[in-house]
Amino acid sequence: MKRRSFLAGASVAGLAAASLATPAIAQGKRELKLVTTWPKNFPGLGTAAQRLADNITAMTDGQLTIKLFAAGELVPPFQSFDAVSSGTADMYHGAEYYWQGKSKAFNFFAAVPYGMTADELHAWIYWGGGQEVWDKVAAPFKIKAFLSGNTGVQMGGWYNKEINTIEDLKGLKFRMPGLGGEVMRRLGVAIVNLPGGEIFPALQSGAIDGTEWVGPWNDLAFGFYKVAKFYYYPGFHEPGTSNSLGINTDVWESFTATQKTIVQTACMAEANRSLAEFNAKNGDALQTLLTKHGVKLKKFSDDVLNAFGTASGEVMAETGQGDAATKEVYESFLASRKNSIGWSKLAEESYFAARRLNFKYG
């Protein structure tokens, strides 16, 4: 009887302990608001943001439950930064050049004309001091940001007429963000900055004469081929465009060490996974655009590319002479790019040349 009484008592005690422990675990769970600059479920960008949110939720076993709000659902897309900075939202997923009005330095963590490829950008951020200077720029805005996506080399954009010379660009109304937009402005283009969801209606109505977006996979989904048939390459302005997860610093500092590691690891995984996804899907999408929709694929002439290059150098140099934080970012960026170019000439570029020469054996 004593044994049965003891076991019964132990069971009651165990249940009581469990009933106390369960609320304690529940109290440790948090739902965080993630706002994005992308349309809901948009392939490659919106879906990457959702995948990142789901992975952080799963990896923390729900301790950090990330609820995603697409562009316009909680705040307008270009107000995502301010929403996180002020604490209205906890996180954003977007491209850092959207915040150049806060600091020109943010451009360097998304894409700059004739800048770094995805691999080179990753080398800078992870191993070349890029994350450290990024932290310095973002800290005054109460933001902690990480790479969390990459589109790879982008296309040069959609035009409603052929671009054979720089004169053909003058007077065009064109959508292009970041420093690339400033390069085009100096060449006589009227630049319009629009979030993704507003581009097609503007192109269709004639409010803009052309646009860049991302690449074949995303551009096919947006249907730009319906209103513009000339598709140009290469995307001099965005050679390896990264997306980022920005976190309010109060929220970030409230995470445990384990949660911080999980978030960083999830972001790094998504940066690589999204790059692989774009590289896997752009080829088929391009063929669909060319064969099914009659898109005319055009390469910018060397004269046009050289003009882009000259203007890009001027814009980059002027940007780098801003405030002390921007100058530090610029100098760090240039040093890492120089290092990467020295290696890529010997490695990737020479290999690509050899593969073209011997592709018949592949």
Q: What is the pLDDT of residue 362?
A: 53
For range 116-128, the mean pLDDT: 98
- State the average pLDDT for the chain: 92
Burial of 148 (0-12, 13-18, 19+ CB in 10 A): buried
For range 325-335, the mean pLDDT: 97
Q: What is the pLDDT of residue 62?
A: 98
For range 357-362, the mean pLDDT: 73
> Looking at 194-318, which runs of residues are DSSP E strands?
210-211, 230-233, 242-248, 296-299
Tell me if the pTM is above 0.85.
Answer: yes
For range 300-329, the mean pLDDT: 96
For range 296-314, the mean pLDDT: 98
Helix, coil or strand: residue 319: helix
Distance from C-alpha of 29 to C-alpha of 41, rounded to nearest angstrom: 26
Task: Specify whether the CB–CB gap between 148 and 243 falls below 8 A.
Answer: yes
Q: What is the pLDDT of residues 265-283, one digit of tens each?
A: 999 999 999 999 999 999 9
> Considering only 136-150, 276-290, 347-361, which range has the smallest mean pLDDT?
347-361
The helix (H) or strand (E) run that includes residue 173 is strand 173-175
Sign of the CA dihedral 222, 227, 232, 236? Answer: negative
Interior angle at CA 108, CA 44 and CA 51, nearest 5: 25
Helix, coil or strand: residue 232: strand
Residue 297: other Cβ atoms inside 10 A: 13
pLDDT cut 90: percent of the chain above it = 90
Q: Which of 3, 83, 84, 72 is nearest to 38 (CA)?
A: 72
Which residues, in sequence order, are bridge partners of residue 257? none
For range 305-317, the mean pLDDT: 97
Q: What is the pLDDT of residue 45?
A: 96
Distance from C-alpha of 252 to C-alpha of 267, rounded to nearest angstrom: 14
Q: What is the pLDDT of residues 142-154, one digit of tens each?
A: 999 999 999 999 9
Strands of the sheet containing 157-159, edge to edge, are 190-192, 173-175, 210-211, 157-159, 230-233, 296-299
Distance from C-alpha of 214 to C-alpha of 126, rounded to nearest angstrom: 24
How far from the centroid of its chain's Cα atoms is residue 79's Cα? 16
Q: What is the pLDDT of residue 27?
A: 58
Sorted by sequence, the CB contacts under 8 Å of residue 169 that are 6+ apart come out as: 163, 184, 187, 188, 189, 304
Q: What is the pLDDT of residue 361?
A: 61
* Confidence bin at 348 (pLDDT 50/70/90): very high
Amino acid at 312: S
| Whether pLDDT at 10 is above 70 | no
Residue that wins the pLDDT comparison between 56 and 8: 56
Pairing of strands 230-233, 296-299: parallel
Task: Specify whether the CB–CB gap between 210 and 203 falls below 8 A.
Answer: yes
Q: What is the pLDDT of residue 14?
A: 39
* Confidence bin at 7 (pLDDT 50/70/90): very low
